[in-house]
Chain A
Amino acid sequence: MTFADLLSLAPLLIVTATAVVAMLLVGILRNYAATAMVSIAGLFIATIAAAMMMEGTNQQITPLLIIDQYSLFFTVVVCAAAMFIAIFSYSYFLNLDDDREEFYLLLVVATIGAIVMVSSNHFVSTILGLETLSMALYGMVAYPLHSKESAKYPLEASVKYLVLSAVASGLILFGMALIYAQTGTMAFTNVTNLVAPSTEGLSDNYTIIALLLISAGMAFKLSLAPFHIWTPDVYEGAPLPATAFLATIGKTGMFVVLLRYVEISNALEFSSVVTVFSFIAILSILAGNLLALLQDNLKRILAYSSVAHMGYLLIAIIASYFAVGTISIEAVTFYLLAYVIMSLGAFGVASVASSSENELDSINDYQGLFWRNPWIAAVFTGMLLSLAGIPLTVGFIGKFYIFLAGVESSLFALLIVLVLGSGIGLYYYLRIVYRMLLPVDDAVSASNTSTHIFGSYVVLAILFLLLIVLGVYPAPIMAIIETISAFI
């Protein structure tokens, strides 16, 4: 392990250091602001570092980690997102009647896990990252456990999440074991045509089962149907920052792993795997959108919509097998980025409006927001329209990519489902928008007692800017994504 290796591990190390420093700080003096500052600063530095390293870093560090432009790109995304969430959570937890500092600890640790995931091309690092992330998330989900007001749900959410995601981890592990039995290596490798004469017995079906077990586990983490059922409850029960983290960073990390693994292992060579993936995609799109249709709880709506969005992404993954170019990979990349931006925005608005004591998670709470607080409402509208895939927003470009990938691989059945799903989706996004347009209802607006922090507004502004700029002139980012996608 040379010094160069350490250098290219810089972002990871910086974040880890942040965690340590924060921990010591908590040990020395309990100061909410200080802890927050430290972690935010650390994450910020990590973001910058990763961004600066992107030029021409590309090396395998130990068998476990691959630091190439692709992983660095997502390191940037993850760190930035984590930083934004940290900023949101400051105002959110400000009035929590309990120790508030540890939340940042958990958040930073979870970020470490995510960074490891996006840069892993080995089973061990995958598991390491995944579990680090999950462990921390259990804590984050359950965090306001002791606080009297909102103490019922975090516990339930956390237990559900813990049990079920442990099952999923079990699935992944078992699948990995089978693959290992087939290939003899734990690094991501091609798993096709392995039936060597020397190894009696183990037929392709072993491989397929193994792949499906892994996919099932990952599908759970990505809350793809039919493994999505936990999502709404956990989203609803968890405090908003934790939900945001789970929805954005958690999903991103897992999806990058999925992408890498599918690409390297040629899993899609097996037509049955393609079938299963298509099945999962269709199911997720329909189920997600249908479930969200008449939902009144904002967090649950976003949970269900995330199910649908993961389904959209899966289409691109399937397409990547049929396509000649890298368009489908770019599609996945761009859409992930877009998804992070818009869900961060949506959850951000919610968490700015809420606090740990009272979360405004019923869409009725947002009635008349457009006239009470036009700027927030504008941001929220932007995010929702983006989620619905309307032009002028980054969400549209993402949809465009997915459609293009689909057309390129002529997956028309999936595209029709995509169109249907988006059509249904419009309904519930517009329901929220319409609520905000309604005249102000004093009873509701009175209940909004959150403390607004300047920082949160800045973050929202940044996100909104990204939303529009990437939606109107995405050419530069497209170029970047085109180059980095070559590394998959």
Chain B
Amino acid sequence: MQSIPIEHGLILAGILFSLGLIGVLTRRNVVFVLMSLEIMLNASGLAFIVAASRWGHAEGQIMFLMILTLAAAEVAVGLGLIIQMYRRFNTVDINVLSKMKG
């Protein structure tokens, strides 16, 4: 069987990453912003796996697992903050958080 050229994998990861980034930029709902972050992190995880497959290592996949936990932690903290935010402002629109400027 012929293997997929590494570029394709990386490019896919890149596209995913950009999608995530765009999501962060465009979404006003904090929950979606968090999800977009997830996508970005996983995209880089994917990139690790692709790279690992190139070298036939396990390290890349271990790294992916680590990224998963990491992302989970991020989201945990994030959600906690979102709850506080909802309590205070009764909305999850990110634009309410713009008191500090200048």
Do any beta carbons of A and B sit within 8 angstroms of each other in the complex? yes
> Taking beta carbons and an 8 Å cutoff, which residues of A are in contact with B?
123-124, 127-128, 131, 135, 138-139, 142, 145, 151-153, 155-160, 162-163, 166-167, 169-170, 173-174, 176-178, 180-181, 184-186, 199-202, 206, 232-233, 236-237, 295, 300
Check if A166 sits within 8 Å of B55, measured CB to CB. no
> Taking beta carbons and an 8 Å cutoff, which residues of B are in contact with A?
5-7, 10, 13-14, 17, 20-21, 24, 30, 33-34, 37, 40-41, 43-45, 47-48, 50-52, 54-55, 57, 59-60, 62-63, 66-67, 70, 73-74, 77-78, 81-82, 84-85, 88, 94, 97-102
Q: How many A-B residue contacts, CB cutoff 8 Å?
A: 131
Report the minimal beta-carbon distance from B16 to chain A, rounded to whole angstroms: 10
A131, A156, A202: the one contacting B70 at CB < 8 Å is: A131
A124, A135, A173, A237: the one contacting B44 at CB < 8 Å is: A173
For A156, list chain B residues within 8 Å (CB): 97-100
Q: For chain B, what secondary structure do more than half of its interface residues adopt (helix, strand, loop), or is it mixed? A: helix
Check if B73 sits within 8 Å of A177, measured CB to CB. no
With contact pairs A155-B85, A178-B47, A180-B48 given, residues A173 and B67 touching in the complex (Cβ less than 8 Å): yes
For A124, list chain B residues within 8 Å (CB): 62-63, 66
Q: For chain A, what secondary structure do more than half of its interface residues adopt (helix, strand, loop), or is it mixed? A: helix
What's the Cα separation between A155 and B99 when bound, in Å?
11
Check if B33 sits within 8 Å of A163, measured CB to CB. yes
Check if B47 sits within 8 Å of A159, measured CB to CB. no
With contact pairs A159-B81, A184-B55, A201-B6 given, residues A167 and B73 touching in the complex (Cβ less than 8 Å): no
B34, B47, B59, B94: the one contacting A174 at CB < 8 Å is: B47
Report the minimal beta-carbon distance from B4 to chain A, rounded to whole angstroms: 12
B47, B59, B74: the one contacting A166 at CB < 8 Å is: B74
For B98, list chain A residues within 8 Å (CB): 156
For B45, list chain A residues within 8 Å (CB): 173
For B40, list chain A residues within 8 Å (CB): 166-167, 170, 174
For B100, list chain A residues within 8 Å (CB): 153, 156-157, 232-233, 236-237
Check if B88 sits within 8 Å of A181, measured CB to CB. no
For A176, list chain B residues within 8 Å (CB): 44, 48
Counting from the closest, the 6 A-B pairs by CB-CB distance are A177-B47, A181-B51, A173-B44, A170-B40, A174-B44, A156-B97
What's the Cα separation between A177 and B50 when bound, in Å?
9
A135, A155, A167, A199: the one contacting B81 at CB < 8 Å is: A155
For A139, list chain B residues within 8 Å (CB): 77
What's the Cα separation between A186 and B66 when bound, in Å?
14
What's the Cα separation between A104 and B70 when bound, in Å?
22
Check if B37 sits within 8 Å of A167, measured CB to CB. yes
A127, A157, A186, A233: the one contacting B59 at CB < 8 Å is: A186
Closest Cβ neighbor of B59 among chain A residues = A186
